[in-house]
Amino acid sequence: MSLVVYVAAVVFGLSCVVLLRRPATALRDPLTLSTCVAIVLGALVFVCSAPLTLAAVNDLTGVPNFGAPLTYGMLSAYSCSLVVLLINWRGGPRDRVRRLVLRAVAAYALVVVAVVVLFALADADTERLTDLDTYYAGTPYMREMILLYLAGHSAATVVLCVMCVKWGREVTGLLRTGLRLILTGSLLDVVGFQATKYTAVAARWSGHDLDFLSTSVAPHMASLGALTCSAGFVLPRLLPAVVAQWRGLGDYRRLAPLWTLLRFVSNTAPKPPAPWWQSPRERLQWREVSIHDALLALAPYFDDRVRERARDAALRAGRTAHQARLAAEAAMLADAARRAAAREGPLDTPSCHRLHATEVSGTGGLVELAEALARTPAADAVGEGTVRAAHGWNHG
């Protein structure tokens, strides 16, 4: 069982690492900070509850079952962090948020203190690593300690379920998906962990033995519920960034025909110090800057006659006005790159035409120009010539 719990703790903790990609910025955001605290405490609960950890803690302290109040206190802290996370997620006036957070922390601090006091008063000299809840279900003070930590955790998860249902009706998109995942994970915790614990303890009170619910079913269901909750916490914060990086990678690749044609010109943009380490968005930004520099450098070579002939041909072929403009600009650009690579002089009266790619913000215009260039028949031959000319252009 220890292996399952440790794996759950590692996976649970990794979601915190994902949220803390930029620690200096993330830690200033109360929502991100409270999310990470909840995830870290949840991972620590798993670590503390593993039989191997319990045995090590008991040996180090010399107190049989000392790992029990440690685990239950950590679980109470985790329950408190869920309430605090909900308060920060809901938001509102800063004073009200701070007041609610302090109340939650105070309430669960009392729970932690009560757990420790009850354990100190109890007679629990027999070490139990997997079935402590049921073994001591009828022992004075231990019985109350067990019910107290379960009740505290139940209160937090029930509030979490109620708020997820309520907010799920008010929001859409990824936030609603995240709330549904949190709700699913919380229900798994309520049904799979808490209900089985309550049932196993109550069975002991009535003289029956349903310990397997507490020792075998509850840990696995708690792990599954926590991992589902962590996905709900992380998804709304992480997925938009992942989508943006994926789109950046796609745009970076779609700009390849344009970059192949122009890279011999673009020697002003700073080279990335470690291209393999950069994110797709950073690579895309560098490529955009380099392409715009190259377009500016080739402007004296733009020939309106080439552009007009290509535009008329595209219109006769049934292209729309926008498609014809892109095809004409691609042809003019390919011609300009060819003459620049051949070290022909600039035109006496260069074109004053402004490329569509320079009129629109973002990468879309450059991508359209790159796609039009890829359809230009002479583009491949021009590209090969410009690559051969790159060394001479940069060092001439």
| For residues 166-193, average pLDDT | 88
For residues 233 and 302, membership in a common domain is answered with no
Q: Whole-angstrom Cα distance, residue 50 to residue 71?
A: 9
Query: 329, 307, 330, 344: which is closest to 383 by C-alpha?
Result: 330
Q: Whole-angstrom Cα distance, residue 314 to residue 323?
A: 8
* Domain stop point among 175, 208, 240: 240
Note the pLDDT tens digit of each residue in 183-193: 999 999 999 99
What is the pLDDT, as a whole number, of residue 390? 46
For residues 268 and 373, membership in a common domain is answered with yes
Give the C-alpha distances (Å, rounded to integers) separating 261 from 53, 303, 310, 327, 386.
61, 17, 18, 15, 6
Cα dihedral across residues 120, 125, 130, 131: positive or negative:
negative
Q: Provide the pLDDT confidence category of residue 387 given band limits of 50, 70 and 90.
A: very low
Q: Write 272-280 long-range contacts (CB < 8 A, 24+).
A: 279/245, 279/248, 280/245, 280/246, 280/248, 280/249, 280/252
Q: Provide the pLDDT confidence category of residue 20 given band limits of 50, 70 and 90.
A: low
For residues 229 and 301, membership in a common domain is answered with no
For residues 191 and 51, membership in a common domain is answered with yes
Note the pLDDT tens digit of each residue in 97-152: 899 999 999 999 999 999 999 999 999 899 998 889 999 999 999 999 999 999 99
Residues in CB range of 291: below 8 A, 6 or more apart = 255, 258, 259, 262, 266, 366
For residues 102 and 179, membership in a common domain is answered with yes
pLDDT at residue 391 greater than cutoff 50 = no
* Domain stop point among 240, 264, 289: 240
In a domain, 202, yes or no: yes
Question: Is the pTM higher than 0.85?
Answer: no
Q: Provide the pLDDT confidence category of residue 395 given band limits of 50, 70 and 90.
A: very low
In a domain, 245, yes or no: no
Where do the H-state alpha helices sit in the chain? 2-19, 23-26, 30-49, 51-61, 67-90, 94-121, 132-135, 142-168, 173-188, 195-205, 211-212, 218-254, 256-262, 280-298, 304-316, 321-341, 364-374, 379-395
Q: Whole-angstrom Cα distance, residue 186 to residue 196?
A: 14
For residues 179 and 328, membership in a common domain is answered with no
In a domain, 251, yes or no: no
Query: 244, 323, 333, 237: which is closest to 284 by C-alpha?
Result: 244
For residues 52 and 164, membership in a common domain is answered with yes
For residues 351 and 225, membership in a common domain is answered with no
In a domain, 249, yes or no: no
> Number of structural domains, the chain?
2
Asked whether the beta carbons of 225 and 185 are under 8 A apart, the reply is: yes
For residues 138 and 36, membership in a common domain is answered with yes
Q: Whole-angstrom Cα distance, residue 286 to residue 270?
A: 8
What is the pLDDT, as a whole number, of residue 265? 76
* Domain stop point among 210, 240, 270: 240
pLDDT at residue 315 greater than cutoff 90 = yes
In a domain, 247, yes or no: no
In a domain, 68, yes or no: yes
For residues 68 and 188, membership in a common domain is answered with yes
For residues 192 and 339, membership in a common domain is answered with no
For residues 176 and 273, membership in a common domain is answered with no
Give me the CATH number covering residue 192: 1.20.1070
In a domain, 333, yes or no: yes
In a domain, 135, yes or no: yes
The domain in which residue 356 lies consists of 256-395
Q: Whole-angstrom Cα distance, residue 41 to residue 214?
A: 21
The DSSP element (H or E) to which 28 belongs, if any, is none
Q: Report the mean per-residue pLDDT for the chain.
A: 84
pLDDT at residue 230 greater than cutoff 90 = no
What is the pLDDT, as a whole number, of residue 350? 77
